[in-house]
Amino acid sequence: MLRLIKDNAFAFILFGIFTAGVLARPPLPVDETRYLTVAWEMWFSHDWVHLTYNYEPYHHKPPLLFWLINIFWSIFGISRWAGTLPALLSSMAVIFLTGKLAEKLFPEDKNLPARSRLVLLGSLPFLIYGSLIMFDVMMTAWVLGAILFLLKLSEKRNLVSILGFGLCMGMGALTKGPVVGVYTLLPAILAPLWFSSQARQKGYVSYYFEILLAVLIAALPILFWLVQTIEGKDGNFIYWLLWEQTAGRVTGNFSNAHGRPIYFYLPLLPVFLLPWILLPAFWAGLKKHLSSARENAGIRFLFFWIVPGFVVFSLISGKQPHYLVPFFPGLIIALTFMLKDVREQTIKKITLGMFAFFIVGHAIAYKKFLPLYDWRPIAAIVAQYPDKDWAYVRNYNGEFGFLARVEKNLTSTNLKGLQSWFKKHPDGMAVIRYKKPEEVAQYEQLFSMPYRSADHYAGVFRLKKRR
C-alpha cells in the first residue's frame, strides 16, 4: 500500500484534495455559488453565448469556465462534483506544466522538475485554490503554456511557437479576460533583459514582429465569442467587459473593484510561500545560492516575469489575493532552487504532512464552520416553490440559484424595499439575511438558520396570512 501511494503520490494527493473539497465543502459564497449559478443558467437557457446571472446579462467574466462546466454536466449530469472537474483538471495541468517549466529553465538540474511539483503540491495556496470553482488555476495553466512557448520562441523562431504562445494567451483571455497580458506579454516585451546571448544575436525586430503576430492570434478565440454577442442581444457587452470590468478595476472606478492600498500584496508573499519559508534550510539555501542565482539564466527569467507583474498589480486599484496565483508556479520554482540542498525525502514528508493537514482541516471545518455557509437547506425550500416569485434581502451572490435550480429572475432588495415588493407580490416568498428577530417579525417564518456566525441568520419568509 505504501509503495502504491509513493508511486502515485501526485494522483493520490490530487484525488484527496478534490474529494475533500467536494464532499466536505458546500459551494462557498460569494464566488463558487455565483459561478455555479451562471453555469446553471447557461444550461437552462441553452445559450452558450450570452452569459446571464440571475437571468440578467453577466458582463464580469468570459465564458470558458462555464462552457467546461456545462460540457461535464452534459456527460455526467448536473452536480457539484461534475462542476468541479474543470478545477481538478486545471490543477493537474498546473502541476505538470510547473515541472516542464522548471526543466526548461534549469536543464542542468535533473531533479528540479520533480521537486518543484512536490513543493507546489505541498504549498498552502495550491491546497486552497486547487479545488475551488474559480478562474485563477485555469488561467495559471494557460499562462504556463504561454510562457513555455515564449521561451521556445526566444530560442527558435518558428510558426509552432508563435501559434502556441498566441493560442495560450487567447484561451487565457477567454478564461478571465485581457488581464492575461500582464502575466504573458510583460515578460515578452521585456525579453532584452532575459534573452540569452544566442537569442540576442538573432535581433529584436523579427522577434517583436512575431510577438505582435502572436497577439493577433490571441485575439481570435475571444473575438470569435464577442462577435456572436454583438450579433445577438447584448451589444453593450464589450463596453462592460473591457471598460467597466478591466479599466474600471485599474482605475478604481468600478463599484466592485476591490480597492486596496499599494502595499496590499507585500504581506501576502510570505503566506504564498508557506510552509516552505518556515524551514531553516530555505534561509540557509537563500544565503548560499543567492549570489549564483543572480547569474543564473532561469532565475533571471523568473525575476523579469514575476516582479514587473507584481508591480503592475500593486499599482492598480483593484486587488485580490488570487490575482497573484498565475505567478505562483514561478515563485515555487525559484523557492525550490533555494531548497536544492534539502533531501527529496524531506520534501515528500512535508508535502504529505500538508496534505494531511488539509484533510484534517476540512474535517474540522465540516463540523464547526462550513454548516454556517451551507445554503442547501434554504435551496431545498426554494426548490419546492418553483412557480413563486422570490426576493432576496441583501446582495444576491447566486447562493441558491444553482442549488435550487432556479429558473427565473429574483429580486435583490433590502428590508425596506421588501415591504414594497410584497405589496406587488403578496403570494411571493423571500430569503432574508438578518441579525435581529424583530427585523423580520412582520413576516411568517418558514425556516431559519445561523449564517456566517451565531448572531447572523438567513431564513425563508412570506407574508402572514390574515385571519
265-279 tens-digit pLDDT: 888 888 889 899 888
pLDDT of res. 422: 93
Work out the pLDDT band at 391, boundaries 50, 70, 90: very high
Tell which of 367, 401, 436 closes a domain: 367
Do 438 and 334 lie in a common domain?
A: no
Do 355 and 424 lie in a common domain?
A: no
- Mean pLDDT of the region 383-396: 92
Give 440's contacts (C-beta < 8 A, 6+ positions apart).
432, 434, 459, 461
Q: What percent of the chain has pLDDT over 90?
A: 51
How many angstroms separate the CA atoms of 101 and 301, rounded?
11
E strands in 362-426: 390-393, 411-413
How many angstroms separate the CA atoms of 53 and 66, rounded?
12
pLDDT at 247 over 90: no
Q: Given the DSSP bridges, would you call strands 411-413 and 56-57 parallel, antiparallel or unpaired?
A: unpaired
How many angstroms separate the CA atoms of 101 and 192, rounded?
20
pLDDT at 250 over 90: no
Do 424 and 357 lie in a common domain?
A: no
Do 354 and 426 lie in a common domain?
A: no
On whether the CB atoms of residues 155 and 206 are closer than 8 A, the answer is: no
Burial 127-141 (b: 16+ CB within 10 A, else e): bbbbbbbbbbbbbbb
Q: What is the domain extent for residue 458?
A: 375-463
138-189 tens-digit pLDDT: 999 999 999 999 999 988 878 999 999 999 999 999 999 889 999 999 999 9
Tell which of 344, 367, 390 closes a domain: 367
- Mean pLDDT of the region 61-81: 95
Do 386 and 437 lie in a common domain?
A: yes
pLDDT of res. 52: 92
Do 224 and 83 lie in a common domain?
A: yes
For the full predicted model, state whether its pTM sits above 0.85: yes
pLDDT of res. 3: 45
Do 415 and 333 lie in a common domain?
A: no
Tell which of 367, 392, 412 closes a domain: 367
Give 379's contacts (C-beta < 8 A, 6+ positions apart).
399, 400, 403, 404
403-459 tens-digit pLDDT: 999 999 999 999 989 999 999 999 999 999 999 888 888 999 999 999 988 789 999
Query: pLDDT: is 297 or 148 the higher one?
Result: 148
pLDDT at 245 over 90: no
Do 360 and 413 lie in a common domain?
A: no
Do 279 and 403 lie in a common domain?
A: no
Work out the pLDDT band at 240, boundaries 50, 70, 90: low
Do 225 and 128 lie in a common domain?
A: yes
Task: Please report the DSSP string for 19-53 in residue order.
Answer: HHHHHH-PPPTTHHHHHHHHHHHHHHHT-SSS-EE
Work out the pLDDT band at 243, boundaries 50, 70, 90: low
pLDDT at 7 over 50: no
- Mean pLDDT of the region 75-81: 94
Q: Among 151-155, 193-197, 309-313, 421-425, where is mean pLDDT lowest?
A: 193-197
Do 318 and 387 lie in a common domain?
A: no
Give me the number of domains the chain comprises. 2
pLDDT of res. 232: 55
Do 212 and 357 lie in a common domain?
A: yes
pLDDT of res. 86: 93
Q: Mean pLDDT in the chain?
A: 86
